[in-house]
Amino acid sequence: MSSNYAVTNPADGQVKAEYETISDAQLNQALDTAVEAQKQWAARPIEERAAVVKKAAQLFDERADELGHIIGKEMGKRHSEGAEEAQFSAEILNYYADNGAEFAADKKLDTPDGAAILQSRPIGVLLGIMPWNFPYYQVARFAAPNLMLGNGIVLKHAEICPESAQIIEDIFREAGLPEGVYVNVRASHDQIAEAIADNRIAGVSLTGSERAGAIVSEQAGKALKKAVLELGGSDPYIILDTEDAKKAAQDAFATRMYNTGQACDSNKRLIVMDDAYDEFVDELVRLASDMKPGDYTSDDPTVYQPLSSRGAAENLAKQMEQLKDAGATIRTGGELADGPGAYFSPAVVTDVPVGSDVYYEELFGPVLVVYRVSSDEEALELANDSRFGLGGTVFSTDTARAEAVGSRLHVGMAKINSYDTDSAALPFGGVKNSGYGRELGPVGMDEFVNKRLFYTKED
């Protein structure tokens, strides 16, 4: 067995712990156990399932500080943000525990000669493939609705997050979830491909890159399995007008720096009207230039944390070279630290040629790319010129104007005059190369579900 799973401090590149990949026999046993456990879990009343999910929410909330430290050491997330992530995971679990019975309730259908009911029933054991950037939140939004439905879960987490992955299973077990209903597996990519094809797996959910999404989608399609994909994003952040360009820049900078820019729905393309552009960019440059590297435990807003790994930082550095080669202007930052650490200085980039290869790439890190536009139509055309379609934000002092532009964005989530829409009640997902399917909100229980018709003919 190999040890691809490891905790490596991204600040210095030092390996702190290694964990063996499971054997094929262990994976086979995990699937067998999950199938039997899921049947028993699905047979329990949904109210009993809700009690377990609610207890898990309580544990996530109570242990938020500890959970924040775990992912800070694994992938470098600022501790306060990690603790908030654990608390948000608790909110998601509570949301489905409180509302799941209503979402999954039988619905009567009108019929002239019989009694028809649309039922929501579980489909079996699901495979979840989750990323490192939000180790708890990504799992919570997948697990909470499906555990409420009565599905079982086999979870393959990112190789750099073995300890946060395991503690999630431990929390569910402590909350009273029977053994096998939620199983964390340290599996290889080949083993995951085999699991997708296995008849014991009923569906697969992936949050990850475009490349991973294409592979998993193909594998799931061959096996005739339902899949939900939440992939990359290059979200437009449009400022049509503002009364304070500096404040707008400060808000945009803080948003982009969250999780050191490693979020699928981060504001990766800042589109600013020309009358505010110069002042906006100057303020971004000032803010980025004042940033300095530091430890994940720091709450100083002028301190930035390392990226998740040296490899991730090196990839972003290559993209910066591509930007330069394409003719873009690096106003400040964009420098990879010497040594084995994953520090990458926050960058402000302008003049990226629209239509260049790098223009269409996702920049997964603290890089603020700004575009100047002179009309609403130009802003909209630029915003939609992307192979991604996750989210988009429009700001204006005239709400109707912002809504008119926002209503024409080719995205799964259009936000007006607010970037902060984090709520368990609001659906999350995209279109185009950002994937398909939805998580969170009422529709989060509509993906891996048997919408069964139950019909009785009347005499």
Point out the residues that are catalytic: 230, 264
Gap between the Cα atoms of 283 and 299, Å rounded: 21
Longest dimension (CA), the chain: 80
Contacts of 325 (CB under 8 A, 6+ apart): none
Contacts of 444 (CB under 8 A, 6+ apart): 96, 141, 144, 145, 427, 438
